[in-house]
Amino acid sequence: MAQNIYDDPDFFAGYSQLPRQMQGLDGAPEWPAIRALLPDVTRKSVADLGCGFGWASRWFRENGAAAVLGLDLSRNMIDRARAATDDAAIEYRIANLDTLDLPEAAFDLVYSALTFHYVQDFERLMRAIHRALSPGGNLVFTIEHPIFMAASHPHWVEDEDGRKTWPVNGYSMEGERRTDWFAEGVLKHHRTLATTVNTLLGEGFALRRIEEFAPTPDQIKAMPGLAEEMERPMMLMISAFKN
């Protein structure tokens, strides 16, 4: 059973105060890089997996998508998304991605932001998504970078020169990782970069592009705190399509 941490009151209260939740896509520094990976969605059918507050679902409709299905495990998320949306072409549902079953060839784009690292059976999910995409359909998703989440105690440390360093240990030991983030024991599932890519290829996807997000100089100038993101990749971004 997937951990529904977003319905934990303490976690949700803290999470709701993040800039990316209060400001929407404008509060996510990686959004311009994600947008560059997205195909034209005009008259397309889109599934938004781990839709959260519905920011991306609404963006897809604003940019011409014919219909959007937003799925999330958390009732808190779905309730917030529904409250913020006035569009009959967007449907929100509670769904567990570990047991996801979608109609065959029903979507032109499947999108997901920072959700798949909560999924235990990544191979099963990729198989379900591949089946749900129309021929040539696109998959665009972001996850926490394997370098970011591999360590048993991920946090900044200082090296001998006083420079911020992110520990990487247990990288090849895939499986559960538990961290304290707004609540104790948040469960994620670490996979190496090779496993992530090879799973996609094994399930019939072809890769368009892989990005390891880093802020631009202009972003760092506007938000100096982003400079630390140059020290290690926090986010992996993948664009693929159904072969």
Q: What is the pLDDT of residues 19-29, one digit of tens each?
A: 776 677 988 99
Residue 18: its pLDDT value, please? Answer: 74
Reply yes or no on whether the pLDDT at 104 is more than 60.
yes
Residue 42: its pLDDT value, please? Answer: 98
Residue 174: its pLDDT value, please? Answer: 97
The count of residues in the chain is 243
Q: How far apart are CA 100 and CA 204, in angstroms?
A: 18
DSSP H or E stretch at residue 79: helix 75-83
Contact 113, 192 (CB under 8 A): no
The 10s digit of each residue's pLDDT in 6-20 is 677 777 777 777 777
Residue 11: its pLDDT value, please? Answer: 73
The residue type found at 216 is T
Which CB contacts under 8 angstroms, 24+ apart, belong to 129-132? 129/49, 129/100, 129/102, 130/203, 130/204, 130/205, 130/242, 131/102, 131/104, 131/105, 132/47, 132/102, 132/103, 132/104, 132/105, 132/106, 132/107
Q: Please indicate, yes or no, whether the overall pTM of this predicted structure exceeds 0.85.
A: yes
Residue 233: its pLDDT value, please? Answer: 95
